[in-house]
Chain A
Amino acid sequence: MKKLIPYIIFSLSLSACGYNDFPPAPDIDPERLYPTMGLSTIREWTIERAVLLPTEGIIAGYVTANDRTGNFFQTLIISDNSCAVEIKAGYSYLHHVYSIGRYVAVKTGGLVAEQYNGMISIGPLVSTEFTQYAGEFEAEMYMDKSVFPADYIREIEPMPLTIAKLDKQLCGMLIKLDDLLWAVDPQTDSDTWADNPSTALGYPAQGNRYFHDPKGDSIMVQTSAYAHFAGYQVPRERVSLTGILMYGRTTARQQGFFIKLRSADDIGLE
């Protein structure tokens, strides 16, 4: 018996139970769902009011904007070339799963679509005593029940436009404007796209920078102070800008078009 003890110890040491041993990453192959209607259909439905979307419907598009650089917050924009829709995620760090160019399908059951200033938004139904509107998913596991990204990504080309041709029907679309020059207002503008939160005193302010084209038409570029490129210098040379077209209040008294860049890569020096 005594002679067996060293062998017992040795054999026990070899018989690890593997509580911390796991196989390599599992295979992941998300299903690709195909749309039953175009995004432009949603635009038609929502011209006058918010609508509860069909229970069995599917819409689809490619991600044109996400929260990767902080200029968009807790939201996604998908586009199918005819129209664009905002998905009101309501939580952060979307960009890993919903990367730019990814094909995304949305099962519309239980979702509401609404239109405001030309932008179509969809989200889960929220009902109050007086109205119903598109809420936010707020948690990824609940967005996963309606929004299905596929394992397919493609290059997204912006729509080339001029300021004169902007239309509220195009809100949400990824557009490109060429030959723009910053109309710097030395009274109000700093030389960066927005305040930098790490250096700003008090609340950092978003930046509104106006650019005009050779025809004299102008457009505002709105940049969140939390955008990674907020502290970058605004170029004083002629540039092309790519961004998501939006419409809304541009000054205290005026409404107009503005664009939001997705990253510093959307600034093209000419």
Chain B
Amino acid sequence: MPRLLIPILTLLLFPFCAQAQHNTYDFTENDGINSGETTVSGDPLLFLRPLGGDDIYLRLSEFGFSNVSWQYRGLDNSFDKHLFAGLDMDGGLSRTRNYRLYDNLSRMGFFKKTVSDLPGGTDAYTPGFVEQIYGSPFEANYGSARLSLFGYNRNGRIGGRASYNFLNEEWAGGIAGSYRTGRDGSVDGVFNEEVSATIVLGRKIADVHTLTFIGDFSWYERGTRSYTTARVFELSGNKRYNPAWGIQDGKQRNSRVSDHFLPAATLLFEGKAGDDTRIEAAVSVQAGELGYSALIWYDAATPYPDYYRHLPDFIEHDFLRREIYQDWRAGNPSVTQVNWDRLHYVNHMSDEDIAFLLERRVERVTDVRVTTKGRTSFTENWTLGYGFNLSNENTRFFKTAKDLLGGSPFIDIDQYLTDDFSGTQLILNNLREPGRRIGTGDRFGYDYTLNLFSFSGRTALEYDTGRISAIVSAEVGNSALVRTGHYEKTNLPGTLSFGRSPLTSKAVRTLSLSGRYSLSATHIFLVSLHEGTKMPYYGTVFTAPQYSNAMTDAPSVKYYSASASYLLTDAAVRSKISLFYTGTRNETAVYRYYDDLENLFSNMVLKDISKRSYGVELGLTVALWQNLDLNIAVSRTISEYNSNPHAEIYEDATQQLYAASKSHLDGYDTGNTPRWLSAFELRYSRFGWAGSLSYSYSAGRYIAPNPLRRMERIFLRATSPDYFNALTRSEKLPDAQSINATFMRTFYISGNPLTLFISVNNVLGSDNIYNGYEQMRLSRNTSGDSVNYEPFPSKYLYSYGRSYYLSLSYRFR
């Protein structure tokens, strides 16, 4: 029933137009300060150029759907772009975001815009959305300094932010930085410590050109949390239970800590070549390290407390089961959390060098990116856009021994092949250094470099009469990926693991056609068509990139999309309703898992994956009354597999193929996004005051199906309909809802603004599952003569409970 309320509410509210003028301004949750983005109520045609404009749906969804996992239009997030002056902001091949860069830039004359249905002539060609940061230090309002202090209970506790701008006729620039620290208020083990600083320096040249340098430095270390099963949440009595941490030395120690240090330097040029041509160019270099720690174990039981064999359900005898159950209910951390003292103890006692180890998986990134773009107007109606992108992304992947936990320096052997049944010989990870012992900080396990070189050129021809515009654009290029193994593994000698792999080179292209028809200044229609190919994700090009040069022969990913939108813009209503359809073909996926049928560590290569997403989305802003707006974002998305991809399963130790067949995924929901997403926001603002109350609701949420369970070699072993359903059903998650509130008040002290911002998310403290996944493991149950395989239970992550954010900002003029 709640699901029906969404379209009903939408239909009721859509025509509602109060006769009030827009004079609102936006503020962002993470900012608390007027961002300076004013909602234009003048000429809508002006506002909506370039095509797409600032997408209402995307703007509302940025925070509106934060309590559930979702992907724009059901597409994989590889289709979403985060660009800064045309440069991809995501660092390294793993595309790690630097969230603080925009935070800092927004204080120095830069702005963010999120758009979709991009036509040609812009920075990116994608059926997903594009988040663009644009601007220049000369667009900062005036020279000023700001200082903000904030407190919160999510990810950390306190922080501060400071910035300083200067501006004169030739030079503009500034420095902005922030610091956050603290432990999470509701999820044990989670902490955050981060420092960021960004320097911007701009120079005007001959009054028409601008040269801007941006130096960015940020570092953070975050304790993360892990998914776990419904049974563990039940046992712990805590929906924010986190199995990743334990007590050491009297304080919480998280085994899964991510760290980020990726300084970047960017040089931007904006200029004119004559009256009709605008040129932009940017060069960016970033280099640093991304890390993630985790526990590993050698011929020992997993130290993570939520493993099924550690739970009371697995204990046979009643008295022991009761005792462990009571420990869970009482929250005894030596049972319910990582027992660090035990790990040290086992390492100390073992006659092996080491049983447990804390490792740090490292990506050492060196990226160079160049982009240029130009626009030349030939006549009043015709414009030519052109440009090229060039990038070389070099990432070295390795891991280091972060903490031996009291163990001794050890010989670097494959941790998995010590206790499987082919493990009659220990497998050295690097036979070129057979006797080397690994001590704290030493590199071990795997060590390889991936180098991705990409270039593309693009052009767009635009025709624009004001009422009608059309753009046809094309981008063509090539991406080449090569792996260089620095370790030679015993079971993969020579070039099977060491040295350069064959080069994977893929042509990439996009063809786009888009058009706009303005029936009047109020009613506008947009269409957009895309067709293209893109480089497959690096992790799918190799069967086991950590230690093997074996390739999957993954082809280029093909995609096509179409969307049609209607925009309504008048004094009281702004809306965009879009129909969309996107398909992908030839996708490849690689899964690394333990195969319970064969008792083998295995790599599954899933080929010829086809998916499609289609649906409708609505973004709507209605001025209900003076200073009071209603914002709505609603979408209905079907995102599903539409093929039965071919699965090949290789034994990890030998890379030998041992099973191949279809995985019957056709018709399964991809699990990328809820079928219904909705957010309703009432927003009040007048000079010096602002506040909002919002409600979000999502439904039709499915967990991504794992392909193993949909293979005949698995589901045909089911001995009853119940077992069959357990293996093949599509798991639906409960609907999720949340109420959020914000309040902002600006005071003036000696003419300078002092702004108080308060937000409370999930006011009701609802327990919403953020996301879940199906485990690849199967349990084997014998009953009489029959053997049944049941899936391990799915794992889930709950979104945050009630959380608050409070900031106080002061600006010095």
Q: Which residues of A contact B (CB under 8 A)?
A: 1-2, 5-6, 8-9, 12-13, 16-17, 19-20, 22-26, 28, 30, 90-93, 95-97, 99-100, 102, 124, 126, 135-142, 149, 151, 153, 196-198, 204, 226, 228-232
Contact = CB atoms under 8 A, between A and B. Distances in A.
Contacts of A198: 420-422, 599-600
A80 B183 CA distance: 52
Contacts of B309: 91
B554 to A, nearest CB: 28
Nearest to B406: A25
Nearest to B340: A22
A135 B349 CA distance: 25
Contacts of B421: 196-198, 204, 226, 230
A102 B350 CA distance: 10
A231 B160 contact: no
B316 to A, nearest CB: 7
B323 interface: yes
A6 B217 CA distance: 14
Contacts of B257: 20
A33 B28 CA distance: 65
Contact of B249 (A16, A20, A23, A228): A23
Interface string B217-260: 00101010000000000000000000000001100111001000
A204 B420 CA distance: 14
Interface string B345-378: 1111111100100000000000000000000000
Interface in B156-170: 160, 162-164
Nearest to B162: A5
7 contacts: A5-B164, A19-B252, A20-B191, A20-B257, A28-B345, A93-B299, A141-B334
Contacts of B422: 196, 198
A1 B195 contact: no
A117 to B, nearest CB: 23
Contact of A96 (B316, B355, B599): B355
Of the candidates B299, B301, B323, B346, the one having the most CB atoms from chain A within 10 angstroms of its own CB is: B299
B726 interface: no
B193 A153 contact: no
B591 interface: no
Given A5-B164, A124-B317, A198-B422, A28 B348 contact: yes
A17 B162 CA distance: 20
A169 B594 CA distance: 44
B344 A142 contact: no
Contacts, number: 140
Nearest to B254: A20
A96 B350 CA distance: 4
B145 A2 contact: yes
Given A2-B145, A8-B162, A198-B600, A97 B346 contact: yes
Interface majority SS (helix, strand, loop, mixed), chain A: loop
Contacts of A9: 162, 175, 177, 179, 195, 197
Contacts of A22: 248-249, 253, 403
Contacts of A197: 421, 599
Of the candidates A102, A138, A196, the one having the most CB atoms from chain B within 10 angstroms of its own CB is: A138
Interface in B278-301: 299-301
Given A1-B812, A124-B317, A99 B600 contact: no
Of the candidates A20, A26, A142, A231, the one having the most CB atoms from chain B within 10 angstroms of its own CB is: A20
A26 B341 contact: yes
B750 interface: no
A236 B164 CA distance: 84
B320 interface: yes
Contact of B424 (A95, A100, A139, A228): A228
B493 interface: no
Given A12-B160, A25-B348, A138 B320 contact: yes
Nearest to B654: A198
Nearest to B259: A20
Interface in B170-190: 175, 177, 179, 181-183
Given A5-B175, A151-B349, A19 B301 contact: no
B494 interface: no
A76 to B, nearest CB: 13
Contacts of B334: 141
B424 A229 contact: yes
Nearest to A90: B316
B295 to A, nearest CB: 14
A28 B320 contact: no
Nearest to B143: A2
B315 interface: yes
Given A138-B316, A142-B323, A99 B349 contact: yes
